[in-house]
Amino acid sequence: MTPDDKTLTESGLAPTASKARILLLACGALAHEILTLVKRNGWDHISLTCLPANLHLYPDRIPAAVEEMVLKHRADYDEIFVVYADCGTGGMLQKKCAELGVEMMQGPHCYSFFEGNDAFAEIAEDECTAFYLTDFLVRQFDAFVWKPMGLDRHPELLEMYFGNYEKLVYQAQTDAPDLDEKARECASRLGLKYERRFTGYGDLASTLEQVAT
């Protein structure tokens, strides 16, 4: 059973299978999507463990946290694959994974690989004033945006943070009207235009298919 979003944000997820050959070490923000792909494809040989999603608030801590988990679980699996993009680590996560001898997702962040890294690269320059949310971040908007930025206490900071943004792009992994409605509300709270873009799982799905074979 997938933990609730609060647990994934603050605590992560323990390995989901004890006799699997491959361990996916992922961000808690990706747990729902990965577990859906594992179930859909019948990947019984794959286990998932997640670091707390709120590590994204402190990206400099991600490489060390990944290293700790790889060393902790390496002896139990034939292969460990790191389901993080660069995620604001400035190349340090890629360097750490190379040192550990494990592979990781390609791309600068999950917005890119959900869109498809090639497709995102083509539109990135035109969307430099776009603020992105995924399914998880729509659900956890207050925990990842509103409260960490202090907007719950100091709404006057809204213009400082978002004055140069023009639109909020909701990259939808699923067709969920309730999330669409909530994403619209998030855009309204930020004073931004709203755009919903169905991405599905993008490069996450194709990459994990390769890992699983």
Give the residue extent of every domain in the chain: 5-108+202-212, 111-198
Do residues 105 and 47 make contact, with C-beta atoms less than 8 angstroms apart? no
Over the stretch 51-80, which tens digit does the pLDDT of each residue have?
Answer: 999 999 999 999 999 999 999 999 999 999
For the chain, counts of helices (H) and of strands (E): 11, 7
Query: Of 72, 94, 99, whose CA–CA distance to 82 is shortest?
Result: 94
Contacts of 59 (CB under 8 A, 6+ apart): 87, 88, 89
Please indicate, yes or no, whether the overall pTM of this predicted structure exceeds 0.85: yes
Does CATH number 3.30.2450 belong to domain 5-108+202-212?
A: no
Query: Of 32, 24, 68, whose CA–CA distance to 49 is shortest?
Result: 24
Q: d(Cα 3, Cα 9) in Å, to the nearest integer? A: 10
Instruction: Give the three-state DSSP class for 108.
Output: coil
Over the stretch 5-52, which tens digit does the pLDDT of each residue have?
Answer: 999 999 999 999 878 999 999 999 999 999 999 999 999 999 999 999
Over the stretch 116-167, which tens digit does the pLDDT of each residue have?
Answer: 999 999 999 999 999 999 999 999 999 999 999 999 999 999 999 999 999 9
Contacts of 204 (CB under 8 A, 6+ apart): 30, 33, 34, 37, 83, 105, 110, 113, 114
